[in-house]
Structure 1
Amino acid sequence: MRNAIISVAVVLTVLIGAVALAGALYIRNLDNRLSIGKDVRQSLQKPDDADTGSEATSEKPFYMMLVGSDARSGNENGRSDSLMLARVDPGSHRLDIVSIPRDMQVNIEGVDGVQKINAAYSYGGAALAISTVSEFAGVPISHYVEVNFANMTGLVDHLGGITVNVPESFSGGNSGLSLKAGEQTLNGEQMLGFTRERYQVQGGDFSRTQAQQLVLLAIMQKIMAQPKTALPGLIQELAGAVSTDMNVSSILQLALKFYGQQPQVQSAICPSYAFDQDGVSYVGVEYDEWRDMMQRVDAGMGPQGVGDIPAVQSSNAELGAAANAASPHDYAALKNQSLNSDDIVVQ
């Protein structure tokens, strides 16, 4: 009898060990699929007052950069199709997202001549894109997420679609998709077409930027509405479309801080306008408006927040300074001559 008990104990120990090992290998595999290069990790910055541990375990706000890469481009790195800067505040359950137009005219460190901000990804990959956006916004970027919208179709279908309030109706265009304005459930294919449309919408590329914001927020909201037990499986789906410096454990910890809450969410586009220079189409920043927006974002007021900006932010010369911007400082007339960030259809 004693030998039988010992044998059963040994078998159970082996089984438990095998399950634990399989779980560890599964997590490691997901981490490897999500992982980005060492050079990108080294380019990320921690706020001066940040805890020594991961922001995922902290209640303090931090900045995260979200990039949609253009997989259809022909060069090695491609160009970033969309750039979003998110201020994540786990303690206040607040998320603010500001999109920076991909054609923003800037100077890129180590690159001759004026460039479009999305060219930073092409010249130096994610690391150069991070440092360029950080200088433009005047904030340290602690985390990085690269999204391939084309690979997100499976996740959207896995979620049973996402609910989006489409700002305006459109038909055909570069996406080949037709959608009616209003709240509706989009499947993966519709989601992709929505994020690519810029010809048959009122604000052109500004409207496409708005669509990408709406889609990412809708995906986040749908994920947060799933049972906690579904989160590991959803992360596995995400791993096929996302690359990030965060590991599975950190993503889960951060997600659980927002899970079951009613987070405050605001999104906006960097105040900007389209203009031509030497036969090239660029986007210029509205310097005063951008500085005001970033000061409000950093203060936790949201990009569209109202009221007085706290002294800590209003006296910070780096916030929204657009130090590497190359567009004209006298921009009032240019703004009124072409499309600008105010031309999107407001929901």
Structure 2
Amino acid sequence: MRDTQAHALRKHPVRNAIIIVTVVLIVVMIAAALAGALYIRNLESSMSVGEDVRQSLQKSETGDTGSGTASEKSFYMMLVGTDARTSNENGRSDSLMLARVDPESHRLDIISIPRDMQVNIKGVDGVQKINAAYSYGGAALAVSTVSEFAGVPISHYAEVDFANMTGLVDHLGGITVIVPESFSGGNSGLSLKAGEQTLNGEQMLGFTRERYQVQGGDFSRAQAQQLVLLAIMQKIMAQPKMALPGLIQELASAVSTDMNVSSILQLTLKFYGQQPQVQSAICPSYAFDQDGVSYVGVEYNEWRDMMQRVDAGMGPRGTGSIPAAQSSNAGLGAAANAASPRDYAALKNQSLNSGDIIQ
């Protein structure tokens, strides 16, 4: 019997070699697939947010599909910026941004909401600053609070640690931004000249921190953070497609999100090679003091107008008539949980406000 088997092997050496090579290739492919799956699982684990955050996100037929992937339709995403240097300011979010993403039209609008915005937070006594929602109830309460303030459903969430973004910026070879104004020293310890600059990771971090030596204070810092995020996005879009997985790995150390790796790649590819329409703005607002505490108040009429334009796909500074679907929607930009004065004309004209930033 053994002699017969040996003879068979000697009789068909080519066929046997093909079988062996095929088996080896299948084993290698399975091993690669398992390694890839493990790699993606580890990435998603490092970026993952809690189940409470996922449950707080709102899906709708007019936006996200609710499947965990970015649909063809527009959707709202909340971006929370933190800074490890200050231990996240005792748990309070350092910056809040609301993004409307429209993959079909290749449009992205980002609106910063000042962290000191005076609001009422569900389940918390007394007036609060909007970033306190993160402290009291984590990302889940922050999402619901911002959703109520803007009057829109928020489908996705991402938390960005600017201090950990330095490695990504250096990996990209720096980012190019137009610095709105020159500044030196201040709380960032950085000096920059106004105009187009290529920033490395350390410079990027200092730029996003500065609020003392700039004209608009915290409003200017919010603008700087918008500029940095948009510059990073543009630099990523300019990379070869093969580089995207490696860049996502770099992002994993600085970003926490409800989106999985596949969704992020799909969304990135929707914008890849396109000329996206991008607009950014700051919620129309002003600084004021109440009972010895510094707050920011919303300009109700201007905020409502801005959100209606954003929701209509016109951008926060869009011009022209607002479509009936948005102009008749009483919830858009209603700032239902805002606690600042309804009569604000005098207040905004006697203090620092969102109009003081250099565009």
Aligned residues, how many? Answer: 346
Q: In structure 2, what is the Cα distance between the partners aligned to 1:176 and 1:250?
A: 38
Deviation sequence 1:302-340 (CA, Å, 0-9, x none) = 000000000000000100000000000000010011100
Cα 1:128/1:53, change in 2 over 3 Å:
closer
- Per the alignment, in what secondary structure is the counterpart of residue 91 of structure 2? coil
Tell me the residue number matched to 2:289: 276
Tell me the residue number matched to 1:9: 22
Deviation sequence 1:66-86 (CA, Å, 0-9, x none) = 001243445896111000000
Contact 1:70 1:78 in 2 (8 A): no
Deviation sequence 1:282-310 (CA, Å, 0-9, x none) = 00000000000000000000000000000
Q: In structure 2, what is the Cα distance between the partners aligned to 1:76 and 1:42?
A: 25
Deviation sequence 1:207-244 (CA, Å, 0-9, x none) = 00000000000000000010111000000000000000
Deviation sequence 1:33-87 (CA, Å, 0-9, x none) = 1111000000000124346454745221000000012434458961110000000
RMSD: 1.4
Tell me the residue number matched to 2:41: 28
Within-5 A mapping of 1:179-328: 179-328=192-341
Asked which structure has the greater CA Rg, the reply is: 2
Cα 1:8/1:55, change in 2 over 3 Å:
closer
Contact 2:64 2:75 in 1 (8 A): no
Gaps of 5+ in 2: 1-12
Equivalent of 1:166, from 161, 179, 184? 179
Contact 2:172 2:236 in 1 (8 A): yes
Give the aligned residue type for 2:231: A
Tell me the residue number matched to 2:8: none
Q: In structure 1, what is the Cα distance between the partners aligned to 2:282 and 2:309?
A: 14
Equivalent of 1:123, from 113, 131, 136? 136
Tell me the residue number matched to 2:358: 345
Q: In structure 2, what is the Cα distance between the partners aligned to 1:137 and 1:343?
A: 22
Q: In structure 2, what is the Cα distance between the partners aligned to 1:51 and 1:278?
A: 42
- Per the alignment, in what secondary structure is the counterpart of residue 80 of structure 1? coil
Tell me the residue number matched to 2:343: 330
Within-5 A mapping of 1:39-118: 39-50=52-63, 52=65, 54=67, 56-73=69-86, 78-118=91-131
Contact 1:272 1:284 in 2 (8 A): yes
Q: In structure 2, what is the Cα distance between the partners aligned to 1:165 and 1:54?
A: 38
Contact 2:183 2:191 in 1 (8 A): yes
Cα 1:168/1:74, change in 2 over 3 Å:
closer
Moved more, 19-28 or 172-181: 19-28
Q: In structure 1, what is the Cα distance between the partners aligned to 2:85 and 2:138?
A: 16
Q: In structure 2, what is the Cα distance between the partners aligned to 1:288 and 1:49?
A: 25
Cα 1:76/1:285, change in 2 over 3 Å:
closer
Q: In structure 2, what is the Cα distance between the partners aligned to 1:23 and 1:315?
A: 49
TM-score (norm 1): 0.97
Overall identity of the aligned pairs, in %: 87
Contact 2:174 2:199 in 1 (8 A): yes
TM-score (norm 2): 0.94
Deviation sequence 1:130-176 (CA, Å, 0-9, x none) = 00000000000000000000000000000000000000000000000
Gaps of 5+ in 1: none
Contact 2:65 2:71 in 1 (8 A): no
- 1:177 and 2:190 are equivalent in the alignment: yes
